[in-house]
Amino acid sequence: MMPFRLSRRRLLATASLLAVPMGVGEAAAAEGDFAGFLAGMRRDALAQGIRPGTVDFVLRSAEYLPRVIELDRKQPERRLSFADFLNKVVTQQRLDAARAKAAENLSLLQQVRQRFNVQPRFIVALWGIESDFGKTMGNYAVVSALATLALDGRRSTFFRGELIAAMRILDQGHIRPEAMMGSWAGAMGQCQFMPSTFLSYAVDLDGDGRRDIWTNRADVLGSIANYLARLGWHGDEGWGREVSVPGNIDTSVASLDVRRPISEWSRSGIRARDGGALAGRDVNASLLMPDGPGGPAILVTDNFRAIMKWNKSVPFATSVGMIADGIDRG
């Protein structure tokens, strides 16, 4: 997965961003270094066992993309509050689309659940947030974007590794080079996997010999489920819930580092959002108050932690859970 790709990808896409453009001289110098950089990448790729024909074909088409550097250097001008983030991401339009996609793919999702023990609603929720169900996968050539970022130097080690991983994917024949498109930071396909994530978690669910997260829906949904399962997903649990907390609660316990049985949280005065008792299994949970005292509060399970391994953002993980719950209520 991407470095705070996460957004790394789109997590801060709803926030205002302030661009710091590259100077003309800086861009020209970087482009001048690009050929030498690609020569070094060729040596590295060959040393790691990627076939010479693949390496030469892929790197011959790589281009330096100044726009990628501009996007990478953008700094958040402001961060949305937790509540505002949810209002922008968990929309009625997205909930309606998620319910429709869940119904449309019911048979396939049941097959995926049987194999990976991940509830379909969470698979669909992640699919919707990551790429709007395959509509917004990015229009950057992944190899060129990764090569540009690897040359830049700010996170060169990370992106050099991702570039090698991208060449390995091409060497294995999962996608044609011209079809390997993604975000400006190299996240690919309908589930927006970084190349290293693809190699570790993407699956060939339909057995056609390729792991295709761009156009093959079975592979897309299976890969999402496999990733969650490998991150420690519990197929018999939810993600958490919004709760009401007493005004005198010790806010120091509001942390993912504090895990207590739900019954213990209940004895502390925490209630369901509507004021009722906390229902369900007495599993361990953590209390989070993302906007601080007086703001929204959520009680989250280990499945929330699994989503946080996918993308280290409390608003992102909460949005996944709320959309999943909305599918169930539809």
Q: What SS3 state is found at 141?
A: strand
The range of the structural domain enclosing residue 44 comes to 17-77+139-181
DSSP symbols for 151-189: HHSTTHHHHHHHHHHHHHHHHTTSS-GGG-EE-TT--BT
Tokens of 109: 């999702």
Q: Compute the distance between CA of residue 240 and CA of residue 106 in angstroms, rounded to an integer.
A: 24
143 and 275 assigned to the same domain = no
Phi, psi of 193, deg, nearest 5: -85, 140
156 and 263 assigned to the same domain = no
Least Cα distance to 189 among 147, 126, 144, 107 occurs for 126
pLDDT value, residue 330 = 60
168 and 296 assigned to the same domain = no
Element (H or E) spanning 287, and its range?
strand 284-288
122 domain residue, yes or no? no
pLDDT block averages, 10 residues each, the chain of length 330: 36 32 48 88 97 96 95 75 93 97 98 98 98 97 97 91 98 96 97 98 97 98 98 96 93 95 95 91 95 94 97 96 91
Helix 52-60, helix 142-152: angle, nearest 10? 80
288 and 175 assigned to the same domain = no
Taking CA atoms, 225 is separated from 2, 106, 130, 264, in Å, by 18, 14, 14, 31
21 and 149 assigned to the same domain = yes
143 and 290 assigned to the same domain = no
Task: Give yes or no for a contact between 301 and 222, defined as CB atoms under 8 angstroms apart.
Answer: no
250 domain residue, yes or no? yes
DSSP symbols for 233-285: --TT---EEEEE--TT--GGG-STT--EEHHHHHHTT-EETTS-PPPS---EE
12 domain residue, yes or no? no
Enter the DSSP assignment of 14: T
101 domain residue, yes or no? no
Q: Compute the distance between CA of residue 222 and CA of residue 15 in angstroms, rounded to an integer.
A: 31
Task: Give yes or no for a contact between 83 and 291, defined as CB atoms under 8 angstroms apart.
Answer: yes
Burial 183-208 (b: 16+ CB within 10 A, else e): bbbbbbbbbbbbbbbbbebbbbbeee
28 and 172 assigned to the same domain = yes
Phi, psi of 183, deg, nearest 5: -75, 170
Domains contained in the chain, number: 2
149 domain residue, yes or no? yes
Task: Give yes or no for a contact between 175 and 182, defined as CB atoms under 8 angstroms apart.
Answer: no
269 and 171 assigned to the same domain = no
pLDDT value, residue 31 = 65
pLDDT value, residue 60 = 94
201 domain residue, yes or no? no
